[in-house]
A and B are shown apart, each in its own frame.
Chain A
Amino acid sequence: MLKLNQSVTPTQITHGQRLWLYALVALILAFLIIPCLIVIPMSFSASQYLEFPPREWSLRWYRAYLGSSEWMAATWMTFKVALVATILSTVFGTLAAYALAQAKGGLAKLVEGLLMLPMLVPIILVAVGVFFVYSRTGLNNSITGLILAHTVLAMPFVLIAVGNGLQGFDMNQEMAARSLGASRPWAFLTVTLPQLKLSICSGALFAFIASFDEVVVALFIVGGDSSTLPRKMFANIRDQIDPTVAAVSTLMIGLSIVLLVAMQYIKKQEGAQQG
């Protein structure tokens, strides 16, 4: 039972004296969570306009989404790009993190700085720059171009996640394997990689969501026919507020929840592994 006069901090402040803080934080949490949940009930409205709460419930806007070849094409495009970009950025990022964890000196610092650049440069500049280079190399409006750009944007997440994992890893284990006759790649694959599994998975999750949600670069370099889901949503939101977007948003929130739960699971496993 919560007692208001019970002291809760090392400085003997009681629950009662902190009620204002609890109220304030409750408001802040509401501010954070309401925009993530409000569209869910609205997406099940039967009306032509967005209503809250809906007067009549239906799956009308989900049918509109599933029945539209444009929305479907955009969805598959997004998944395809995100999957390939995740695989590429995870492989490249893991290799780089592994090398940079052992390499020392100015060159390694320089390479690391360059690989982290996509996270620091404002996204609009990435978009403009990519557009400029692609228009000279014929990669605009191509799925390859979009995949390459998303791979670059996602790589820092993998680099950070795997780099963190490698910090707690004793490289001598690999040395031991090599002294027993394993080649370096074999030692990496059989000794190091299994222990980095969780870090790599969390990096890959970040990479996937980074590509899946990416709008600004897609706005610049993707043409009308091969739109991605976020790009189509952006255009839709700007031009008209169509409840189909609410249905798509709800599905995307569902995906975020799934990925968040997966991430928490990985963290838990990591904690168990360490402790």
Chain B
Amino acid sequence: MKELSVPDELTGMTRAGRDEMARQLARDELKERWSLMSLTLPGFMLVLFVLALPLAWLCWLSMFDASGALTLANYERLLKPVYLSSFLVTFQLAFCVTVACVLLGYPLAYLLSQLPERASQILMAFVLLPFWTSVLVRTYAWLVLLQRQGIINNGLLSMGVIDQPLSLVNNFFGTAVGMVHVMLPFLVLPLYDKMKNIDPLLLSAAANCGASPAQAFRQVFLRLSLPGLTSGITLVFVLCLGFYLTPALLGGGKVSMWSMKISDTISLFGNWGAASALGVTLLVVTFGLLFGLRKLFGLNGGGKR
């Protein structure tokens, strides 16, 4: 840079003056950077007050007893059967819902990505409308569909397929169905995006090289869509772990999810220590899975691209 600068004789500047100017510029830059960051301040303070502070408080509550002494009693309590069975149910449900979402979501996203633009746009509305409709409204609709006197039971009874109403809701099954309905768009939307970006010429090339349609699909399309699928799976699984609303309404008190245990521990027993230990564990598992799975899948996906 030195060679390019204007000689001091022409500008009438001294070396000291130039240094002073450089320092001034650096100061200005720093000032500008800080004034830029200060724009994030309102949002930052709000999240700090409403979310980060309470979470830190929960961590503290879970580890220290009323006298302020460090204790692991709250975490030891989590090993009791009633909590363990709740963890088990939560993971079972999250697993089943994720598998169902993959089985339903993959063919759906695949076909949508293959159809002509106009047709796929119209059919996309079938995915987007549920996505934009309140979870509460949809859960209510499932209750109406699945309950003992509900539409499905009444329909099957009047057609003579069954003679006793099936118990479709207030159990694991009903909860899973409602949750799959909520989660499916979360899997389909990123997956569809990924599939849309797969060049169809790659499949033609595979066919040209002698691959059967099934081989071309498996070895080219499936592999290329895998990163979209894994990010969808991660999202759905993690969202399931912390899900509250749908299990609370469709579980009928029989499906005791992790999140419901937290809420019950506070509202029924007022036990903040136990509830916060449950909460902190949920938080750690959620973030662990979110970043752990992302890293794991990210490496795999990167290798295959």
Whole-angstrom distance between the alpha carbons of A184 and B94 in the complex? 49
The smallest C-beta distance from A49 to any residue of chain B, in angstroms, reads 8
A32→B125 CA distance, assembly (Å)? 10
Rounded to whole angstroms, the CA-CA distance of A130 and B48 in the bound complex is 11
Q: For this complex, into which size category does the number of interface residues on chain B fall? A: 35 or more
Smallest Cβ distance from B173 to chain A, in angstroms? Answer: 15
Report the separation of the CA atoms of residues A246 and B151 in the bound assembly, to the nearest whole angstrom: 14
> A42, B47: Cβ atoms under 8 Å?
no
Q: What residue in chain B is nearest A217 (Cβ atoms)?
A: B50
Residues of A within 8 A of B58 (CB): 125, 128-129, 132
Knowing A38-B145, A132-B57, say if A213 contacts B135 (CB, 8 Å). yes
When chains A and B are docked, how far (Å) is the Cα of A21 from the Cα of B242?
A: 33
Asked if B86 CB lies within 8 Å of chain A CBs, one says: no
Segment with Cβ contacts to A, from B18-26, B38-46, B70-78, B223-231: B38-46
Selected from B46, B245, B287, the residue in CB contact (under 8 A) with A151 is B46
Interface residue A259 (Cβ < 8 Å from any Cβ of B):
yes
| Chain B residues with CB under 8 A of A3 | none
* Inter-subunit contact B39/A39 (CB<8 Å): no
In the complex, the answer to whether A96 meets B44 with C-beta atoms within 8 Å is yes
Q: Shortest distance in angstroms between A138's beta carbon and chain B's nearest beta carbon?
A: 14
Q: Are A29 and B263 in contact (CB under 8 A)?
A: no
Which of the 9-residue segments B5-13, B160-168, B202-210 touches chain A?
A: B202-210
Which one of A9, A36, A131 contacts B130 once the chains associate, using CB atoms below 8 Å?
Answer: A36
Measured between C-beta atoms, what is the minimum distance from B66 to chain A in Å? 15
A64 beta carbon closer than 8 Å to chain B: no
- B282 lies within 8 A of A245 (CB): no
Q: Is A216 an interface residue (CB 8 A)?
A: yes
Complexed CA–CA distance, A115 and B39 (Å): 13
| Chain B residues with CB below 8 A from A32, complex form | 126-127, 129-130, 181, 184-185
The SS class assigned to the B binding surface is: helix
When chains A and B are docked, how far (Å) is the Cα of A234 from the Cα of B139?
10
A52-B151, A155-B47 known; A10+B200 contact, CB < 8 A: yes
Binds B, one of A55-63, A66-74, A101-109, A194-202: A101-109
Given the complex of chains A and B, what is the CA–CA distance between A131 and B48 in angstroms? 15
The answer to whether A35 and B181 touch across the interface, beta carbons within 8 angstroms, is: yes
* Alpha-carbon distance A100/B37, docked complex (angstroms): 7
Query: Among A12, A96, A155, which residue has its beta carbon within 8 angstroms of that of B213?
Result: A12
A62 to B104, CA, bound (A): 36
Would A124 and B263 be within 8 Å (CB), given that A11-B216, A42-B144 are in contact?
A: yes
Whether the pair A253, B39 counts as a contact (CB closer than 8 A) is no
B294 to chain A, nearest CB (A): 12
Interface check B79, CB cutoff 8 A: no
Shortest Cβ distance from B261 into A: residue: A124
Interface membership of chain B positions 134-172, coded 1 if the CB is closer than 8 angstroms to chain A and 0 otherwise: 111111111111010101001000000000000000000
Decide: A252 and B43 in contact? CB cutoff 8 A.
Answer: no
A16-57 vs B, CB cutoff 8 Å, 1 = contact: the mask equals 000001101100110111111011001000000110100000
Which single member of B130, B154, B242 contacts A125 (CB below 8 Å)?
A: B242
Does any Cβ of B come within 8 Å of A203's Cβ?
no
CB contact under 8 A between A129 and B57, given known A8-B114, A149-B50: yes
Separation of A149 and B47 alpha carbons in the complex (Å): 9
Report chain B residues within 8 Å CB of A38.
141, 144-145, 151
A260 at the interface (CB under 8 A from B): yes
Chain B residues, CB < 8 A from A92: 42-43, 46
Check: A133 CB closer than 8 A to any chain B CB: yes
> Counting CB contacts under 8 A, is A118 at the interface?
yes
- On whether the beta carbons of A122 and B213 are closer than 8 Å, the reply is no
A125 touches B55 (CB 8 A): yes
Task: Let me know if A129 and B55 touch, CB within 8 A.
Answer: yes
- Which residues of chain B have C-beta atoms less than 8 A from A31's C-beta? 104, 181
A114 at the interface (CB under 8 A from B): yes
CA distance in complex: A91, B42 (Å): 9
Which residue of A11, A155, A257 contacts B203 across the interface (Cβ within 8 Å)? A11
Q: State A250–B212 Cα separation when bound (angstroms).
A: 49
Is B36 on the interface with A (CB-CB < 8 A)? yes
Is B136 in contact with A216, judged by CB distance below 8 angstroms?
no
A161 close to chain B: CB less than 8 A: no
The residue in B211, B245, B266 that gathers the most chain A C-beta atoms within 10 A of its C-beta is: B245
Which residues of A sit under 8 angstroms from B136, Cβ to Cβ? 213, 215, 230, 233-234, 237
Which B residues lie at the A interface, using CB under 8 A? 33, 36-40, 42-44, 46-55, 57-58, 104, 107-108, 110-112, 114, 123, 125-130, 132-145, 147, 149, 151, 154, 181, 184-185, 200-201, 203-204, 206-207, 211-213, 216-217, 241-242, 244-245, 248-249, 259, 262-263, 266, 272, 275-276, 279, 282-283, 286-287, 290
Chain A to chain B contacts (Cβ below 8 Å), 9 pairs: A38-B145, A92-B43, A102-B36, A124-B244, A124-B282, A125-B262, A130-B54, A237-B140, A241-B143
Please provide the 7 A-B residue pairs with the shortest distance between their CB atoms, ordered closest to farther.
Answer: A122-B242, A129-B54, A35-B141, A92-B43, A10-B203, A11-B213, A124-B259
